[in-house]
Structure 1
Amino acid sequence: MKSQLTHNLSEILPDVADEIAVAFDETLDLTENEWKCVPVLETVEKVACRAGNRAFVGYPLCRDSDWIELNTQLTNSIVKEGLLLSLFPKFMMPLAARFATKTTDRVKRGAQHLAPIITERLKHMKAYGKSWNDKPDDFLQWCLDEGKETSADLLAARMFAINFAASHTSSNTFAQTLYCLAANPQYVQSLREEVQTTIGKDGWTKEALAKMRKVESFLKELQRFEGNASLGIKRRALKDITLSDGTFIPKGTYICVASHAIHRDPRIYDDPDVFDPYRYTKLQDEQGDDSRYQLVSVSPESLMFGIGKAVCPGRFFAAMMLKLMFVHVILSYDLRLGDISYPASVCMGPAIVANPSAKVMLRRRCDE
């Protein structure tokens, strides 16, 4: 992921932006001047899954309804099935997984979709070598170019894994974002003006996204304020450890960081319980350090993507996806809350997830 997906963001950006536009249009199915009540998480999951798969497996598979359903089902069930398996003794887990989960069946279904695509691409590679006209530029092709994996089953499992890693976090964060935008309409015009000005100068490019400071700040503040977990950076001690303050951690102990508490710590953030969408643009202006407060930047005070060796390798792609979805919504739709308000997020154990019941009202903009 580091060597290919991140380095090829500029090349795949137009395709991902195109898929986001088409996916929103087809999923929302809005008529002219119609306000429509939209289930936030369900809608965003479909759009994010299609957009991600445009980069992972390319067109037209990214629009195949069964492929998208397989990936969304896996994303929604994998955590539940993991919790179920954790109830079994370790030696029984492989056997329990065969009967208590549907992952194996989903991988087989996924392989049926990938097999003819892989066969066709391998034929082209044999005939034309490393390059040919219209050669796909997606994650599946990068895997084939490496030559280590050509089995449809193995590649289906790999595609599902990267889908879970990318779509789960992106869907959760953007569902929270969409609801927050609808709940705070006073910020929409300012954000829209920044987007229009930047796109007008630089077009739909990676460089343009990097210049959208208000958009970046809004998304980073949303991650800080809502978050995706109360506990993060989970680790298990592989040996007895005594910390510098004398704290003893026995071998086998699980430890983690109270990331959500850090993000709401008044010693770190001014008014931490207030959603301030331009918090980070103000910090950049005050301190003159743009890089520290970028969406992808991590620090002991900003743990949304982890930190250290285990920092999320796909955060640059995730950030691009979030910005592209944000920009599309800002430019294409008016939005507001409906008659019933919901919390943007709910807690499930240590996980903080976008409220599956939340809905917003959307209308296509007349002057888009």
Structure 2
Amino acid sequence: MPDTDTAAGAAARAQEQRPLKLSEPLKVGPYTLRHRVVMAPLTRSRAGQPGNVPAPLNACYYAQRASAALIITEATQVSLQGQGYAWTPGIHSREQVEGWRRVADAVHEASGLMFMQLWHVGRISHPSLQPDQMPPVAPSPVKPNAETFIENERGEGELAPCVTPRALQLEEMPYLVRQYWRGARNAMKAGMDGIEVHAANGYLLDQFISSGTNRRTDEYGGAPAQRARLLFEVLDSVCEACGPQKVGVRLSPLSTFNDMHDDDPEATFAYIAGKLNDYGLAYLHIVNPATASVERGVPPEERAQRMIDLIRRTYRGVLMIAGGFNGQSAEHWLEAGTADLIAFGRPFIANPDLPARLFAQAPLNTPDPATFYGGGERGYTDYPSLAQERGEAPKAVIDDRWR
């Protein structure tokens, strides 16, 4: 008879030696990703001023993280009206296009791949950030119980409560769609490899999708198909601008962030996920409904698990999930077939070489929340890589080629 202890030990060693699913390549649209660790979009409020223009500091930050299989840029507003937080970058001016081109060039020089996330915040804004101090816009005049980040009279950032938004008029819808089309065209001019349409986290497109914020009685309100109409009009325009294989969509089913809720999210997101199959997109990206459970290392709650299963079952393309993952839980979800890609947010803030750390099962740096929004290099480009910690690489500097 075989020695069971020896057999068990051999099996354990074989398991340890087997390549991680995280490290496997994957075809996404026209690209073959080197592995499955994606950098999630992360608002950092460090765009150059005036004009919310990406600066050399931003190019350095993204180039440091170019070992991600794919970088999704921080949310980038498609218009002045689309801004909801101080010092966030846009993609609607010539100067912004040039600034993003320097960022894209830096990432490509470091062998990275980069999609731009297009963003309109809708009601999650403040008159001080809007053209002519106007109220923010939304599907319906429903005031959110939420705050946004503004620049005060002293030039400092501070939180401010959101106000009651103005309901968009029917004749404004084509103009909104055009903003996204222009943003996609500008992003491709800037050298981006693709586009992600931000329809999550309680911002404009999500506000139209959700029954709690969309109380319209015209063709943009009512049943899920009507509430999702603006999303698909935007998606049509963005796909026209750069091709569907270079487009992803982000959704946040069951999320309550920014004071959101939907009366029947299962019906709403089953409709959207099913219709997305018609497009041949690069991927669908969802904010994990089970983020809190994953962070605690416990199984997802029943409703969250049902939503994840519904989307996995309904959407037939590449599925990316973000929220709460570490290396072990990410590997488990990939092995189970629940996701095809895992997007990491805060771990990428403090670990510019996150893929290498995950593959080597090395310790991770801890991010400093005090430096998440606004500021300069501290908490942005000064987190060390493994090689720097070992004295094998110099400290990152802002390259003159990015200026």
Do Structure 1 and Structure 2 share a fold, with TM-score over 0.5?
no
Report the TM range for the smaller structure's normalisation: under 0.3
Relative contact order: is structure 1 or structure 2 higher (C-alpha 8 Å, sep ≥ 6)? Answer: 1
TM-score by length of 1: 0.26
TM-score by length of 2: 0.25
**Structure 1 or 2: more helix by fraction:** 1
Higher strand share: 2
